[in-house]
Amino acid sequence: MPVTTTGSKLWRFGYRYDGEQKLLAIGSYPIVSLLDARAKRDDAKRLLADDIDPSVERKAERREARIARANTFEAVSKELMEKFEAEGDAPTTLKKKQWLLDFANEEFGKRPIAELKAPEILDALRKIEKRGRYETATRARSTIGAVFRFAIATGRAERDPTADLRGALITPTVTHRATIVEPHAVGAPRHRRLRGAGCHSICAPARASGLRPSR
């Protein structure tokens, strides 16, 4: 265990790979205990047994973690909105989608999209349900799902967790109206109103002037 000039004690693992002597930093003591240091050393030995350089593997893991932090839900949703706009979606449609995504971004926009799970999304959607806006919650789930599908297509997520929420949200109650089965009843009230209005606007002036319709 090397000791720095400041008195810090560091765990290091020395190994050879491809004929070159290397040193893998494991951590500082006592933040990393002896037991943890040995476990990390054993992990490095297993990588060497599989002909993998532990130092290269660690750099790759850090790079993937950095990319994951950059690929947040908010970043992916912004790209998707730009795609919708380029495809010519109507301004009203874009505004509605952005409104739903703004809600999602407030809840988990800064989180790496690949790390989001179904329960976390459900908790957010239930905040909408508690306001009695069941249809809005359903639309939000659909829009969030579109972001995940876009992330899958662009290699930033492996699956869409909103698919696991089928049946988890409250289904809005749909009010069905009675079906008109008599053809003559279709539009009847409106027709009566128009006939009444027509007689008032056309016949009244004729009566006032003493004119009578020709037969």
Q: In the CATH scheme, what is the homologous superfamily, with its name and number, of domain 73-165?
A: Tyrosine recombinase, N-terminal domain (1.10.150.130)
Contacts of 137 by beta carbon, 8 Å cutoff, 6+ apart:
125, 126, 128, 129, 169, 170
| CATH class given for the domain over 9-70 | alpha beta
Whole-number pLDDT of residue 212: 54
| pLDDT at res. 178 | 63
Domains 9-70 and 73-165 are alike in CATH topology: no
Preceding omega of 30 cis (within 30 degrees of 0): yes
Q: According to the model, what pLDDT value does residue 211 have?
A: 47
**Local confidence pLDDT in tens for the 215 residues of the chain:** 565 556 678 888 999 998 899 999 888 888 888 899 899 999 999 999 999 999 999 988 888 888 777 799 999 999 999 999 999 999 999 999 999 999 999 999 999 999 999 999 999 999 999 999 999 999 999 999 999 999 999 999 999 999 999 999 998 776 666 665 565 555 555 555 545 555 444 444 545 445 455 54
pTM, full prediction: 0.57
pLDDT at 181: 58
Helices (H), the chain: 34-49, 54-70, 73-86, 91-108, 118-129, 134-153, 188-198, 204-208
Please state the domain extents for the chain: 9-70, 73-165
